[in-house]
Amino acid sequence: MNKFTFDGSWNEIKGKLRQKYAQLTDDDLQFAEGKAEELLGRLQSLLGVGAEQLQKTLADLKLEVEDAAKTAHGKYEAAKQKVSEIAGDLKTSAAEKAEQFKEKAGEAYEDARLKARSWNDEGEAYVREQPRTAMLTALVAGVMIGLLIRR
């Protein structure tokens, strides 16, 4: 049988061991570099199982932890892909809305420009048709503005 190796998943395996065997404490599961055999012997003694049975239990728990990690990673990748798709959709939608607003703003600007041009043309036509009235109106308006400013 393959010998159990202590690696980065030991903390998760410790949690699974505590769930399965409530009598184990943190001190019972404390791993120190170079003392793996001591830990395995201590676990055999506390659990009342043979070396092969303990190796099998640890290997099974390690597989559970690895499968859970793969599942979590798969879910993470799927969520990441979904977020990426949604972000792409939002970006496309925002670009379309921006283009619509740009077109509407251009139309509003053009309408305002045409109205201003029309008012200017109407004003010029009025001055050409009735120059005396336009001059008199401008003179009265100028005097009133002068009086208001003077105060």
Structurally, the chain folds into a number of domains equal to 1
1 in any annotated domain = no
Residue type, 108: A
80 in any annotated domain = yes
Instruction: Return the pLDDT at 151.
Output: 77
Return the ∠ at Cα 95 (arms to 94 and 97), rounded to 5°: 65
Interatomic CA distance for residues 69 and 7, integer angstroms: 14
Interatomic CA distance for residues 11 and 73, integer angstroms: 18
pTM of the model: 0.47
3 in any annotated domain = no
Query: What is the DSSP track for 29-41?
Result: T---TT-HHHHHH
Q: What is the pLDDT of residues 47-80, one digit of tens each?
A: 888 888 888 888 888 888 888 888 888 888 889 9
Nearest to 36 by CA among 4, 2, 1: 4
Structural domain range at position 72: 10-150
pLDDT band of residue 1 (cuts 50, 70, 90) is very low
37 in any annotated domain = yes
